[in-house]
Amino acid sequence: MKEAENISGNEDDIQKLNDIINFCRANYNITHNKTYDLAESGIEICEKLNLAADKNILKTYLAFFLWHNNEPQKAISIIYSISEKLLANKNYLEFSLGVIITSLIEWAKGNVELAFNTINQAFDELKNKENTKVAIIRLNWTLGVFYFDLDEIEDSFYHYQLSKNSLDHESDFSVVAYINIGLASVYKKQQELEKAAILFEETLLYSQTNNIWMVEARAFHELGMLEQINKNYDKAYSLFSKSYEIRSENNAMPAVVSSFISLAQIDIVKKNFSEAEIKLLQALEISEEKNLKPKISALMLHLSGIREQQCKYKESLSDLKKHYALEEELKNIVKNNKNAYLQLNYKVQKAAIELEREKEIGLLKTSFVSTASHQFRTPLAIIQSNAELLLMLVGRIDNQEVEKYKKITGRITGEIAKMTEMMDDVLVLGKLTSGNVHYNPQELDLVEFCKTIINQFNLIQEDGRILEFEIVGEPCNVTLDSKLLGHTLSNLISNAFKYSVGQDNPELTIFFKPKELIMSIKDYGIGIPKKETSNLFQPFFRAKNAMEIKGTGLGLSIAKEYIEINKGQISAKSILGEGSCFELKFKR
């Protein structure tokens, strides 16, 4: 990783842009000003080279800087404008960071349900997609924060632990650190102070080693609070001071307020009321500027107590009234938040659990299918070789039994072919259900593409039939994954010939319409019973009138999955005894 000062204008623009993006990803939560400046210079390169996707990546880090510097409205505006594009371009790191920013902003505003729904929707968006591990870790960490704030400690611990268990050589050091901070905070809340202290100390060392100043300051502060609980006030004051110095140096004003309050609390215990008042007034000035109402409420209560000790009773009463007024306002917000939270009916938690279960099941299914498919191939190969050996030995015998043996070995070989075909289809289906199919859309000359497939089928038809081809409308190039489309068309064309033996030629028609593209594969064969058409695309389903015709019952299921991955739709119409027509529709 290059340091910021080593990313120079002497580099090639693309290399410089890559260095900037990598720097932002590694340092967005550590060196805020440098990240912001580099992101802006990277955006200038993107605009010059017309690189929209990279520009959106860098905008995410600008939004993080704005949020961190207490400009939430600007930050959320940026994220809302780029979120869908980040998702479409598979920039899941930045997509998840944007989700965290928007959900935490809504949370701070008291929009609990919207914050939860933002996370919930993100889980749905990332479902069954590859390379989302870090994004899922981040989302679970955010849920840990939310549940902790709601005093739902078990749920908070569950999501923090879920994030921690998913870590594997994680390169985003701040994610690791904040997960540990979250877990330690849960231990502290549960009065398991020794566990909390150990984890806070580990996190402190980790943050110092990896230069994560925000976490370092938080760890010092939390360790100070543990010492305060144990009434080791001098030690607590020293730790709070270290935290304050780091936060002040990095201009983290809301966090500075927390440091001032904690330091003032120690001053009050030691009866240094003048020192405490100075700190609290500094904290109040920051809080009023940033509109930090919970902080202002706490500060007014502390100031009231100090002024009472100083015999300033009028000022003390005034501060106390302000505290109670703010407390009433905040209680209503909390009450509304709790109600909104309860109305969620744990949808988010369930979504997260179901997502993890589905992933586990998907991996297990893929592993089983792959292993089973390969394990079947070995005995099938042995049976095949022995059938061939038997046929070869029988061929040396000059008697009338030879033809019988040939028929027997022919049946064995035929069944092996069926079994092998089914194993191939099951393996493909396993990849589909676990989301492991690569989607690579490219511009395609559809007419030429179809002609190539048609010629391949026309050459192998033993009954002399051909696939008739018709074009309706003005042909144009389309953007599709040719591999997925080719597999689908091959399956449908093969079926059209297979289920219409002895009938008229099947037909392939392409309708080029202004807003959509329709491909129709029609045959004049046995058709499908009306009651059975609803199950046509289910795995292993075969219509009753097709049982005697070779097939696995997986082809149409796979074709449907491939079409949907290709952003299209497939439908079927059929009349028993007259034929079937399959339509593929794509938007243009």
Question: Are 511 and 536 within one domain?
Answer: yes
Domain boundary among 384, 406, 433: 433
- Classify residue 291 by its DSSP letter: T
Range of the domain at 391: 355-433
Distances (CA, A) of 577 to 232, 461, 499, 525, 533: 90, 22, 11, 6, 14
Question: Are 79 and 118 within one domain?
Answer: yes
Question: Are 386 and 483 within one domain?
Answer: no
Would 345 be classed as within a structural domain?
no
Domain boundary among 167, 190, 219: 167
Give the pLDDT of residue 471.
94
Q: With CA atoms as reference, report the closest residue to 431 among 279, 309, 557.
A: 557
Would 394 be classed as within a structural domain?
yes
Secondary structure of 161-222 as H, E, C letters: HHHHHHCCCCCCHHHHHHHHHHHHHHHHHCCCHHHHHHHHHHHHHHHHHCCCHHHHHHHHHH
Q: Work out how many domains the chain is built from and give that number.
A: 3
Question: Are 424 and 453 within one domain?
Answer: no
Question: Are 57 and 154 within one domain?
Answer: yes
Domain boundary among 121, 152, 167: 167
CA distance 58 to 38: 9
Give the pLDDT of residue 263.
95
Would 291 be classed as within a structural domain?
no
Distances (CA, A) of 580 to 354, 428, 441: 39, 25, 29
Question: Are 428 and 561 within one domain?
Answer: no
Would 483 be classed as within a structural domain?
yes
Question: Are 21 and 155 within one domain?
Answer: yes
Contact 120, 139 (CB under 8 A): no
**Which residue reads 């110095």 in tokens?**
245
Would 10 be classed as within a structural domain?
yes
Q: With CA atoms as reference, report the closest residue to 304 among 325, 334, 329, 288.
A: 325
Q: What is the CATH number for 388?
A: 1.10.287
Q: What is the CATH number for 472?
A: 3.30.565.10
Would 31 be classed as within a structural domain?
yes
**Which residue reads 């802006």 in tokens?**
40
Q: Is the whole model's pTM more than 0.85, yes or no?
A: no
Question: Are 488 and 556 within one domain?
Answer: yes
First and final CA of the chain: distance in angstroms? 43
Contact 510, 472 (CB under 8 A): yes
Q: What is the CATH number for 157?
A: 1.25.40.10
Tokens of 311: 């015999």
Would 59 be classed as within a structural domain?
yes
- The residues pairing with 520 across neighbouring beta strands, listed in sequence order, are 509, 583
Give the pLDDT of residue 170.
54
Question: Are 427 and 467 within one domain?
Answer: no
Contact 431, 437 (CB under 8 A): yes
* pLDDT by 10s per residue, the chain, length 588: 455 555 655 568 899 999 999 998 888 877 667 888 999 999 999 999 999 999 999 999 999 989 888 788 899 999 999 999 999 999 999 999 999 999 998 887 778 888 888 998 999 899 888 889 889 999 999 999 988 888 889 889 999 998 888 876 555 677 888 899 999 999 999 999 999 999 999 999 988 988 888 889 999 999 999 999 999 999 999 999 999 999 999 888 888 999 999 999 999 999 999 999 999 999 999 988 877 788 888 888 888 888 888 888 888 888 888 888 887 776 665 555 444 444 444 444 555 555 555 555 555 555 555 555 555 556 666 677 777 777 676 666 656 666 777 777 777 776 666 666 665 555 555 555 555 567 788 899 999 999 999 998 888 888 889 999 999 999 999 999 898 898 899 889 989 998 888 888 999 999 999 889 999 999 999 998 888 887 888 876 777 777 667 666 777 888 888 898 888 999 999 998 899 999 999 988
Question: Are 19 and 158 within one domain?
Answer: yes
Give the pLDDT of residue 421.
60
Instruction: Count Cβ atoms below 10 Å from residue 252 Cβ, excluding itself.
Output: 21
Question: Are 420 and 449 within one domain?
Answer: no
CA distance 517 to 3: 51
Would 222 be classed as within a structural domain?
no
Question: Are 428 and 541 within one domain?
Answer: no
